[in-house]
Structure 1
């Protein structure tokens, strides 16, 4: 959110209260407390009619400093709150002198200037400045409905903000699964989950965390609407703001990007380790296509006949009747023997996934039951919140109600008892911002946080049924901490090279936001992929952590495009099986450290400046460099860092003393796939 008109002037309708100085500083139980008036205080009279900000610095674990900036501390906060971890035995070092106060956590120090104007500098153990909050950074901002007499009206909208500086050549990454530019400099990013596809500034997975190539990351601890101005309002600063009377954020030191992710996921939760079978190829019915058991078995027979390795079969929405989503009852006209069908799929060596969501259509038998028991989000008048957007008259399950969670899980448990192995937890973004929740939670903050409770409920059920290490979701929406419930996929993309590239950018950004596992719809979701797009996307999809064939209104069995697609699918599914030991090593690393399986080049080669902006290639684990082909003419330009490399398909070897760019041409049976040796 922009509060200024240019650099100097505050926007019309706003008033600004910038921290001016550290007037009073003290230590309280391991916390550095700083009292910052918004004007320099020289006399006793300056303390009258004055706004005072309270800034507290503490540390939940080594190399992480928590900052909380508050105005009115009597304001009510109904939650929800991110589930964060801390090391209760760790105590930071705090010192206070005449000119400066500091708090040191591991190799990270926050230095608060006392002798002069407001300035907080974050340095590493060598004294190198990482970033700073300075003049006109920390502030209490107010939007006025009555600008001339704002002190006498209570309908003012308060915001808290802070800004951290960016150095020359400093790039910002992360902020969730974002499909625009990989480097976020110059962007306004609003943390607000939306069902916007992959071709807009909206995102399904908004994460209020970014990292930079200067050795640190920043996590804003607010599950609601966080707005980032990334070198946009002020080109040498990142501003982050939230509505309300307080702002809390964490500065996380690396210095290596992998260490930043390790510490961020230590704070917000590490990705669970998906079972081995999930890393194979998934085949879907697609969304609105016509299918029954005969169709399903025809697809599977076709895959087996063409010797395309297959691990999972997925039933999308219409395994249930239209207008009934979600009632979790198989459409008996299409699938008269679902238990028998699942057994037959298991006998073929396949796992079974079914589509679900947390929206209950009015025609579903669950609607009356959920309404009578109070299991849905409500309106302020106590009635059920409903909409016709997606399913007629649908309600939304209220996961802040423990009984509603048990009720929802009990309906899914019947499917697990039937033999279903995992669930695709679709949606979770279209959540009302004016709803009333069982636990009284703030509906604005619940808009993003809802997906955490939704996916946690389903994931916990799967772990209860199949045991830890054997649970897997295929989820679309997420917020911070959602990485604990893998796998996530990229949502609704178009069937074009451009959409394939934006999908990769989304995956790279999500990986730099703490998510270890990620997938996408091979060939694109919307439309019918041209053969060239489909075959190149097959390569990309089968060289991702998880691989799924899925579409909207057309099938995604490879031969539905052309027979060469079947050959490409077979070859790259076999390559993935051969590479699986390395991929599983990377998966275990993701589980232990938060470092993703599909990695941006800058994550694996932070010392190489040529890797800082690369977004059309990636590392699969630490060993394999993959450069998908995004062109009809089969040409691809890509960069290989210094080192010894061997082409995994054609066996060529390189020994590069320094990084080098290549422009090459590949047929559909190959692409740049280089192994570090």
Structure 2
């Protein structure tokens, strides 16, 4: 939200009060509070009839400093609030030296000098200024409609670039954009987003998290062009500056605060196929799809039933449509016999025709209007109500309706929707409707995820979720929502996924081929390669099927090739998944995350690193022409063996069976011998594909996890003259070492391969 009229003036109807000078500082050992007057005080009379802004500075965790700016502290705080972790007594240390007060937490220091004009400056461990809230950087505003806003502005350095703020389909670098943190079901072609996260990451090596679950308005160099402004309609604004120095360090600290991603089961990394949305299907159709994939040699891991597995007008009643699926238990057993997992679509809305509507209403499990009536509308489902997840009994009730499906054989749920949450309602726990609008999805996904953990066991729970906010990364996987079937939509989907990954989300997927419309075969084939080189891979559409043979035999070949490739890469990919689980560093990584010091990487949004060592550049053209940037080092194309020395921009042309897929110099890629499934025995005759760095000092190490994410075997690689020696620990089974472009050898324990 903008409050000023250019640089000099204030917008009509707006009154702005800025923190101007420090009148008092009260310090404790780990925190301090500053009191700022909103005008220069030259005599005692200036202290009368004037506001005072209270600024609390504290550290909830090492390397994180919080600032809470308050005008009137007596405002009722009904919640909800983000659930944050940290040291109970704080993690910082306060030092005072004359007029200067400093709070230091790990490599981050906040400095306030009461002798000068108001300024909060944040410094890294080397004393370098990261950002600051200057003279107009801490304020409150009132508007003509009586609204009260708190706002802060943090400076942007020359050339500083801002990323994140959730899944955003607008330009990858957020400078110059207005970003409103407000859940919306707006597709992938607008400024609206399904996954809004009030956290941004700076190219200068820090992040900022605004601890407010409701509407937060960001002006990223779009009002005051040298600053990021964020504001809330409230009496208090709380934000956290998160230290680096590297972007990965920022994400590690941020996800320690808001929650780390759970580790999805290995089977979920395989190919998912759905019925699509409004297409006609029954068990015969489903089995024809499943058998068709098997007949064509395309391994399938999960089959998903979209909305119409339930009866029309009755979403959700969690009952199979008996006219279409008269024997659901038998059908699920038959799918299980083919080695498949099963996913079912749900949402948190109960249609009036559903028998569950009256039950939920009578039990008080549906959200109500202020007059006590159940909130209803006809958008999406006729007369639908909304489950009130702030009520513990409602959460238990909702989970109890899903449990029979798990007992029947369903393994996962696609938790669709959760964005269109009204604000003219009363919540059971008294939550503020505006704050609950974004937060609702968190309660919804948590309810379902925790049920899956309870019933399937920890490590087996996985969702396919559309909506999320801060902390939602704990309940993977999330997919990119409703995109069109075009190259442009394919590119905007990738932008959204990369933006989400810089917002703390470790796993992400999208609808291969696009959701709306029917893709041209060229679009579908190019999207197959991209989708199967994402953390999770799903074929899904709206009004048309997404089985590959609908798009020609070449599409079948492409689907087979990249599914088998992904299965071979699973020891490597699951290692990256374990890293995401433990550190918050995502599986799909924007180039700036791996190469923050390379200026050429800072705006790249059409390529990414898949894990630490694989560079992927999807092809967005029919003729196969694609631009790709390779940072410094020697890169080896995984499919062709071509070696290229970077830094270099390249224009390449690829057939549908290929794309730029480069391995970083120094990498050791563990490859599975079994390409038939994603969750096989990865230590059964694996191949270590080694891309050694030049020079005598080369050494590397790679750990292969088991299906629970526990380290199962470690392979240590070192150069010994003209020989590469690989030593295995944790396994006594045979493995093969293959040097990229060179020799290979097989053995157990220790394997040596000549480099020349």
Shorter-normalised TM-score: what interval? over 0.9
1:301 to 291, 307, 329: 291
Does the alignment pair 1:257 with 2:271?
no
**Contact persistence 1:98–1:114 (CA under 8 A):** no
Q: Which residue of 2 aligns with 1:665?
A: 653
2:544 corresponds to: 554
2:234: which partner in 1? Answer: 244
Query: Structure 1 residue 82 and structure 2 residue 82: aligned?
Result: yes
Question: Counterparts of 2:17 and 2:129 in 1: how far apart (Å)?
Answer: 26
The question of 1:375 aligning with 2:360 is answered: no
State the shift of 1:644 in Å. 2.4
Q: Helix, strand or coil: the match of 1:343?
A: helix
Residue among 174, 190, 193 paired with 2:164: 174
For 1:606, the equivalent position in structure 2 comes to 596
**Distance in 1 of aligned mates of 2:92 and 2:354:** 55
C-alpha separation in 2, matches of 1:92 and 1:669: 54
Residue 64 of structure 1 is matched in structure 2 by: 64
The equivalent residue for 2:173 is 183
1:401 to 388, 391, 404: 391
User: Deviation at 1:93?
Assistant: 1.6
| Equivalent in the alignment of 1:336 | 326
Contact 2:346–2:414 (8 Å) recurs in 1? yes
Match in the other structure for 2:27: 27
Distance 2:464 2:83 in 1: 22
What's 2:638 paired with? 648
Q: Which moved more, 1:97-106 or 1:619-628?
A: 97-106
Following superposition, the deviation at residue 256 of structure 1 comes to: 0.2
Shift of 1:633: 2.0
Matched with 2:223 is: 233
Q: Which residue of 2 aligns with 1:151?
A: none
Deviation at 1:675, TM superposition (A): 1.1
Instruction: Specify the alignment match of 2:269 in structure 1.
Output: 279
Alignment of 1:360-439 (within 5 A): 360-439=350-429
2:44 aligned residue = 44
Equivalent position SS for 2:365: coil
Cα distance, 1:90 vs. partner?
Answer: 4.9
Instruction: Tell me the SS of whatever aligns to 2:21.
Output: coil
Distance 1:627 1:558 in 2: 22
Task: Note if 1:592 corresponds to 2:591.
Answer: no
Q: How does 1:216-231 map to 2 (within 5 A)?
A: 216-231=206-221
Separation in 2 of the partners of 1:495 and 1:85?
41
- The reply to whether residue 131 of structure 1 matches residue 126 of structure 2 is no
Give, in whole Å, the separation in 2 of the partners of 1:340 and 1:47: 78
1:29 deviates by 5.8
Deviation at 1:653, TM superposition (A): 1.8
Q: 1:563 Cα shift?
A: 1.3
Deviations 1:256-303 (A, max 9, x none): 000000000000000000000000000000000000000000001110
String of CA shifts for 1:8-61, please: whole Å, max 9, x gaps: 111111100000011111114622100001001122111100110000100011
1:629 aligns with 2:619: yes
Which consecutive residues of structure 1, in runs of 5 or more, have no partner in the other structure? Answer: 146-155
The equivalent residue for 2:515 is: 525
Separation in 1 of the partners of 2:217 and 2:178? 7
1:161 and 1:273 mapped to 2: Cα distance? 37
Give me the CA root mean square deviation. 0.8
CA contact (8 A) 2:28 2:94 kept: no
**TM-score for both structures, normalised by structure 1:** 0.98
Please give the alpha-carbon distance, in whole angstroms, between the structure 1 residues aligned to 2:598 and 2:349: 47
Q: Is the 8 A contact 2:58 2:90 kept in 1?
A: no
Q: Is the 8 A contact 2:30 2:103 kept in 1?
A: no
User: What pairs with 1:318-337 in structure 2 (closer than 5 Å)?
Assistant: 318-337=308-327
SS at match of 1:545: coil
Q: Assess if the C-alpha contact under 8 Å between 1:462 and 1:471 holds in 2.
A: yes
1:2 corresponds to: 2
Q: Which of 452, 462, 465 in structure 2 is aligned with 1:475?
A: 465
Matches of 2:125 and 2:636, distance apart in 1:
39
| Conservation of the 8 A alpha-carbon contact between 2:29 and 2:94 | no
Give 1:149's aligned residue: none
**Aligned counterparts of 1:293 and 1:566: Cα–Cα separation in 2:** 22
Which whole-Å CA distance do the structure 1 matches of 2:400 and 2:81 have between them? 26
Q: Secondary structure at the match of 2:22?
A: coil
Among 574, 580, 590, which residue is 2:564 paired with? 574
> 1:103 corresponds to which residue?
103
The alignment partner of 1:642 has SS state of strand
Q: Judge conservation of contact 1:98–1:115 (CA < 8 Å) in 2.
A: no
CA drift at 1:561: 1.3
Distance 1:518 1:240 in 2: 27
Which 10-residue stretch deviates more, 496-505 or 115-124? 115-124
Gapped regions of structure 2 (runs ≥ 5): 665-690, 692-756
Give, in whole Å, the separation in 1 of the partners of 2:622 and 2:227.
Answer: 40
Q: Write the distance in 2 (CA, Å) between the matches of 1:88 and 1:301.
A: 56
Aligned to 2:503: 513
Map of 2:340 onto structure 1: 350
Q: Give CA-to-partner distance per residue, 1:540-567, whole Å, 9 cap, x none.
A: 0000000000000000000111111010
Kept in 2, the 8 Å contact 1:518–1:546? The answer is yes
- Partner residue of 1:15? 15
**SS at the partner of 2:232?**
strand
Alpha-carbon offset, residue 667 of structure 1: 0.5
- Residue 130 of structure 1: how far off its partner (Å): 0.3
Match of 1:674 among 646, 662, 670: 662
2:186 aligns to what? 196
For 1:242 and 1:58, the matched residues in 2 are separated by: 20
Higher RCO (CA < 8 A, seq sep 6+)? 1
SS in 2 for 1:23: strand
Match of 1:489 in 2: 479
CA distance in 2, matches of 1:3, 1:217: 24
